[in-house]
Each structure stands twice: as C-alpha cells, then as structure tokens.
A and B are shown apart, each in its own frame.
Chain A
Amino acid sequence: MNLNHVLWAVGLAILIALPFLAPPYFLHLVIQILIWAFIYTAWSLMGRFGFVSFGHGAFLGVGAYVPALLWNYYGLTPWLGIPLGVAGAVLLAIVVGYPCFRRRVVGHYFALVTLALSQVVLLSLVAARDITGGSLGFTQKAVGHSWYALQFPEKGYFYVIAVLLWLAGLAAWRSIDRGIGREALEAISEDEDAAAAVGIDVMRQKMRVTIVSAALTAVGGAIYGQYVMYLNPETVSGIAVSLQIVFAAIAGGVYSLLGPSVGSLLTLSLTEGLRVWFGTDYIGAANTIYGILLVLCIIFMPQGIVGSLQGMRRRGAIAKPLVTLDRQSATRRPSSAAQ
C-alpha cells in the first residue's frame, strides 16, 4: 500500500463521515462542490485533448431544464426525464459536434461556435418564457420526500447521490485516461492529418469523447436542478456558466484526475468564503477577487494548480500548457506561408 492509497482511503473516510458530523450549511457547500466537480471533470474529458468547448453551458441547460419541465407539465418522473434530457444534450452535441469536426472547425473557431451554442440555449430558454418562466427562473413542483420525483428535502440523500456521481465522473475520466482511445486522441490533438494517416478514426474518437462529455454534463445539470429545485437560464446556460466551467476545470488542471475537482473545491469555497467575508454589503467583491486570481493563475500557473504542484514535485518535467489546442490552430497565424 503506497501513499496514494492511504490518501484515497483517508479521503473516502472523510466523505463517509461528513454527513454525520458537518452542519447542514457546510454539507450544502460540499454537495455543490461535488456536483460541479463532476461537471468540470466531464468538461475536462474534452478539454484535455484540446477541444476547448464553451458550449457546455448548453448541455448543462438542456440537462437541467428538460426533466424539470417534463415533471412540472406532464408529471413525468425524473428517472425518465433525466435520460431524455441527456438524450437531448447528446443530440445537440452530435448536431453541432459532427459538422464541426467534419469541417475542421478548430481552435478559436471551435471555442466561438460552441459559445454561440450556449447562447442559443440561453436565449431560447428566455424566449420561451411562457413555459420556462424566462429570466425569472423556474421552480419545480415540490412533493416532499419522494424517490419517484427524485426530491429529498434532507441533504443526506443528495450528499450520497453527489458522492456517487462524483466517483462516476472520476471513473469515466480514468477509463478514458487508461483506454486506448487516449493515445489516439492525443495524436489527434497533436496533428490530425498525421493521426488519420496512421489509421486513427479521427471522427469516431472525437465524437465519442464529445458525446460522453456532453452526456455527463447534462446529468450534472439535472442533478443540480433536482438538488437546488430552482433553475435560472443565466446560472445553467450561456456564456457566464460556460466560462465558469472552463475556468474552474483549467484552474485545477485538466491533465490530472483530481484537477477539475480541486478547481471546483477552490473556486466554490473561495467565492463562498469571500461572499461570507464581505457579506451582502459588497456585492461583487467576491467575484472581483476571483477574477483577479483567475488572471494571475493563468499568467503564473499556466498548468493549473494541480499540474503546477506536480510540476514542483518532479522538477524538470516538461512544462505542458494549460491545454494544447489542435496544432493547426496553434500554428495557423496569418502569415505569408499560408498564402
């Protein structure tokens, strides 16, 4: 048994003990951290291979709103609503992802196309205000403790769900990290043509990781919705939440298993801590400091927090950028060579 196993064991023991020891407010924070950690991990499945998506706000929004709407209007149980929401997000991922990859929309262009997707979902949710409540938000019909409705007023249930969800996210990350697809994807992010030339099915690999990432993000959105029982287009879709996802995942580090989780832990406890610290008199103070830290983090810790710590541990390791974009985009500068 090495140090890593010990750390995992201690970590899990703490997670199991938490609901019995922690005050409700603290538990609430931990549940949020876990759910967002799951979402950030889902994003990093794509992000680590250089597909920087600003479209996860769209998957999150669809995943959250579909089951909530179906529940309120048709009384459909989230046990069916969530898979439908996930299917919707996957469909969206395919409809946008496939042509993107086919037409080689990469780098800045990919980032901005997916950003537009986020905005489409956000604005559609606002525009359909007769159904969704628009920017005022949407509250699910509460029925108290119910497995059928997947509603639990006691935090303990959601705590268990969040832990399981988080572990499932880590398992997905690990299976891609350990699988043969990883090398293929790394080759693709290095040089797509070369990867195709050695027989890698570029399309299939990209689509696979995109679909998994979108599906998990939608699940995260659904569970988040079930937990907080209130949805707002601005908090589950659009540019703001997409940036939040990208930032936290990258700040933690997308190349390590726990990187996105650390990103979630740090960003949420930071904003929450700052919020408590400044109270309600200084709205915006917390995010101001958060913004400064983000910029500093990107300038001084370009490999993310976990990556930088690991880098310090094994000094001399080759520095990796936060994320390597597809090479075409990294070198595609308007130069005479391209003429």
Chain B
Amino acid sequence: MDIYLLEAIINGILLGGVLALLALGLNLIFGVIDVVWICYADIVMCGMYAIFFLYAQYHVPLPLAFLIAIIGIAALGILVHLFIIAPVLDSAPINQLLATGGLLFFLQSFATLLFGTDFRNIGVRLPVLEVATIYVSFARLIAFAVALIGAVALYVFLKRTYIGTAIRAISQDREIVGLMGVDQRRIYLVVSGIGGALAGLAACLLALQYDVHPFIGNTFGPVIFMICVLGGLGNMIGGFIAAFVISQIIAIGGYYSSTELSYVFAFTFFIVLMFIRPRGLFAP
C-alpha cells in the first residue's frame, strides 16, 4: 500500500478521536435535554482562546491552563443551559435550535470584538514521530489517546454511578424518572456541565494542533452535527463510530484530492446516507 495513503488513514483515525469526543458531548446533550446546541463548536472555540491567553499570554503552566479551561467551559455549559436553553425548553424544537444559533452569532462576533480575526497559536511544538517511514504528529497521538480516555471515563460514569444511570434513563422516559426521585432540572445542569467539560477537553486537544480564530467553529461544527445525525441523534455509541467513518472519508478524500473536496465528499456521503437510513446508520 502507498505509504502516504497509510499515513492519511492513520491521521484520519487520530482526527476521529477528537471528533468522537465532541460528538459524544453533543449527543449527550441532545439525548438527555433534547436540544441541539448549534453553537457547540463555538464553545470549543472559547476554550481554545482561554488556553491561548492563559498559556501564551499569562504564562500559566500548560496543564493548569488546560484544567482551568475545562472547568471554565463546563461552567459556561451550565450558564448556557440556565440562561438560554431553560427559558425555551417548552418551546418548539426549532426555537431551541435558533436560540443556540443566536448564541453562535454572539460568540463568534464577541470573539472578533475582543481578539480580532488574527489566527493565534499557543506555540507548543511537539515532535513528529517517525515510525517505519510514516510520520505521525505527536500532538495528534496525544489528542487521540486523551479523547479515548475521555470517552471511556464518560462511559464508566454513565454506567456505574447513580447520576449516570439517571442520565441514561431520562433519555428513555422523560416523565417517569421523576417518580424515581430524579430532579430533571438538576440532571440537565449536570449534563450541560459535562457537555461543556467535553468541549473544554476537546479545546485542549485542538489547541495543540490548530490556530484559534473566531470562526474556527464553522470549520468543524457542521462536521460534528453530521457525525451525530449519522450515528443517530442521541445515540452515543453510534456517534462514536460515525466519527471514525467521517474522519476516514475526510482523510482519504483529502489524500486523493483537496481538503475542501474531502469535506464535500463527507457531506455528500452524509446526505445520501440520510436517504438510505433516515434515522442514522445505527438506528434499529
């Protein structure tokens, strides 16, 4: 096999890890609260800016900067729920979609206002590994590993704890969980916080690889939605697998043509698949 193709495939798998992490966060929020956060990728952008300023500007040690970003973005997630989602919870689904869309506008423009449109890099240069003449970026490798650890941690949390079980239960029967003593509003806050924390974690991983700018959300936001829908909105395992399918299409497509066209392939694949399986790849 062509060595560069192999390299593309490996990079695709590594990219898939971060996308899978984001898809998990978005799917968790959708599955439990039944709201699509159109602005999810822009919340990641906030996290990337937080890391940039903490580390590159104020010289906070990187691990501490990461920790602060994760906690900060988790708090942001809770605030988004309290101030934007909670007031429209009983509205038509499209109003909820639009409320988070308004937040998308706000976050992008506010970031432009505060930081300008410059591309900023935290300036951490990690080595490139060479394994049998294949070059693999160390940053991507770390991102992949951490994303997997994050996904496993989430899985254990959902599987083993009372709150986790309640979170899974609530997406199966919204009304009846109250009878079990579960306070729906509290679960929503917890889930928004976890969704935010996952976005914060993804921000850490992306900050190592990409420059941050106010519109970075537009580049991978639509891809995340596509992954979630492909896996079946709310289906976390489906989304996890779909992340790797899509990242492979992007990676291999990018190898044979250009980056933009590889995304065109991915989106087209998505549209066609929606016609074949309208409720996602893994719908029963």
Q: 13 more A-B contacts (CB under 8 A) besides A124-B260, A287-B109, A321-B92?
A: A52-B94, A105-B278, A108-B36, A120-B268, A243-B101, A286-B109, A291-B105, A291-B108, A295-B99, A299-B88, A322-B98, A324-B92, A335-B175
Does B92 lie within 8 Å of A283, measured CB to CB? no
Q: Which of the four size classes fits the interface of chain A?
A: 35 or more
Does B84 lie within 8 Å of A299, measured CB to CB? yes
Does A298 lie within 8 Å of B95, measured CB to CB? yes
Question: What residues on B are CB-neighbors of A117 within 8 Å?
Answer: 267, 271
- Complex formed: what's the CA distance from A8 to B98 in Å? 32
Please tell me which one of the listed residues B105, B271, B279 contacts residue A96 in the complex, with CB atoms under 8 A apart.
Answer: B271
Nearest-CB distance from A256 to chain B (Å)? 17
Stretch from B71-79, B112-120, B202-210 that touches the partner: B112-120
Given A123-B267, A283-B113, do A334 and B234 touch, yes or no (CB 8 Å)?
yes
Does B225 lie within 8 Å of A112, measured CB to CB? yes
Q: Report if B22 contacts A (CB, 8 A).
A: no
Does A103 lie within 8 Å of B229, measured CB to CB? no
Q: Report if A219 contacts B (CB, 8 A).
A: no
Given A123-B263, A291-B109, do A325 and B92 touch, yes or no (CB 8 Å)?
yes
Within 8 A of B (CB), among A250-296: 250, 282-288, 290-292, 294-295
Does B84 lie within 8 Å of A119, measured CB to CB? no
Q: Report if B162 contacts A (CB, 8 A).
A: no
Q: Report if B275 contacts A (CB, 8 A).
A: yes
Does A329 lie within 8 Å of B93, measured CB to CB? yes
Given A119-B222, A239-B221, A295-B84, do A109 and B229 touch, yes or no (CB 8 Å)?
yes
Please tell me which one of the listed residues B171, B233, B264, B268 contacts residue A127 in the complex, with CB atoms under 8 A apart.
Answer: B264
Please tell me which one of the listed residues B101, B173, B214 contacts residue A284 in the complex, with CB atoms under 8 A apart.
Answer: B214
Does A298 lie within 8 Å of B275, measured CB to CB? no
- Complex formed: what's the CA distance from A253 to B109 in Å? 24
- Complex formed: what's the CA distance from A297 to B95 in Å? 10
Q: Report if B165 contacts A (CB, 8 A).
A: no
Chain B's interface: helix, strand, loop or mixed, by majority?
A: helix
16 contacts between A and B (CB under 8 A): A96-B271, A108-B233, A109-B278, A113-B270, A123-B260, A127-B258, A287-B105, A287-B108, A287-B112, A294-B101, A294-B106, A295-B103, A322-B91, A330-B93, A333-B174, A335-B172
Query: Considering only CB atoms, which chain A residue lies closest to B111 in the complex?
Result: A284
Does B92 lie within 8 Å of A294, measured CB to CB? no
Does A99 lie within 8 Å of B260, measured CB to CB? no
Q: Report if B146 contacts A (CB, 8 A).
A: no
Query: Considering only CB atoms, which chain A residue lies closest to B106 in the complex?
Result: A291
Q: How many A-B residue pairs have CB under 8 A?
A: 178
Q: Report if A161 contacts B (CB, 8 A).
A: no
What 7 pairs across the A-B complex have the smallest Cβ distances? A291-B106, A284-B112, A287-B109, A294-B102, A284-B113, A291-B105, A127-B260
Question: What residues on B are CB-neighbors of A334 within 8 Å?
Answer: 31, 34, 171-172, 234
Question: What residues on B are CB-neighbors of A282 within 8 Å?
Answer: 113
- Complex formed: what's the CA distance from A117 to B87 in Å? 31
Question: What residues on A are CB-neighbors of B103 within 8 Å?
Answer: 291, 295
Question: What residues on A are CB-neighbors of B271 within 8 Å?
Answer: 96, 113, 116-117, 120
Q: Report if A83 contacts B (CB, 8 A).
A: no
Does A322 lie within 8 Å of B171, measured CB to CB? no
Nearest-CB distance from A270 to chain B (Å)? 12
Given A108-B97, A323-B92, do A283 and B268 touch, yes or no (CB 8 Å)?
no
Does B222 lie within 8 Å of A116, measured CB to CB? yes
Q: Report if A107 contacts B (CB, 8 A).
A: yes
Question: What residues on A are CB-neighbors of B107 within 8 Å?
Answer: 291
Question: What residues on B are CB-neighbors of A115 within 8 Å?
Answer: 222, 225
- Complex formed: what's the CA distance from A324 to B92 in Å? 7
Nearest-CB distance from B65 to chain A (Å)? 24
Question: What residues on A are CB-neighbors of B225 within 8 Å?
Answer: 112, 115
Q: Report if A200 contacts B (CB, 8 A).
A: no
Query: Considering only CB atoms, which chain A residue lies closest to B277 in the complex?
Result: A103
Given A123-B267, A302-B95, do A284 and B110 touch, yes or no (CB 8 Å)?
yes
Q: Report if B51 contacts A (CB, 8 A).
A: no
Does B93 lie within 8 Å of A325, measured CB to CB? yes
- Complex formed: what's the CA distance from A319 to B147 in Å? 45
Nearest-CB distance from A84 to chain B (Å)? 22
Does B95 lie within 8 Å of A322, measured CB to CB? yes
- Complex formed: what's the CA distance from A138 to B205 in Å? 36
Q: Report if B82 contacts A (CB, 8 A).
A: no
Q: Report if A104 contacts B (CB, 8 A).
A: yes
Does A322 lie within 8 Å of B105, measured CB to CB? no
Query: Considering only CB atoms, which chain B residue lies closest to A299 in the complex?
Result: B87
Q: Report if A111 contacts B (CB, 8 A).
A: yes
Per-residue interface assignment for chain A, residues 187 to 223, with 1 indicating a CB less than 8 Å from any chain B CB and 0 otherwise: 0000000000000000000000000000000000000
Q: Report if A100 contacts B (CB, 8 A).
A: yes
- Complex formed: what's the CA distance from A120 to B225 in Å? 14
Instruction: Determine which residue in A102, A120, A238, A330 has the highest number of CB atoms from chain B within 10 A of its CB, and name it.
Output: A120
Q: Report if A126 contacts B (CB, 8 A).
A: yes
Does A283 lie within 8 Å of B117, measured CB to CB? yes
Q: Report if A247 contacts B (CB, 8 A).
A: yes
Does B173 lie within 8 Å of A336, measured CB to CB? yes
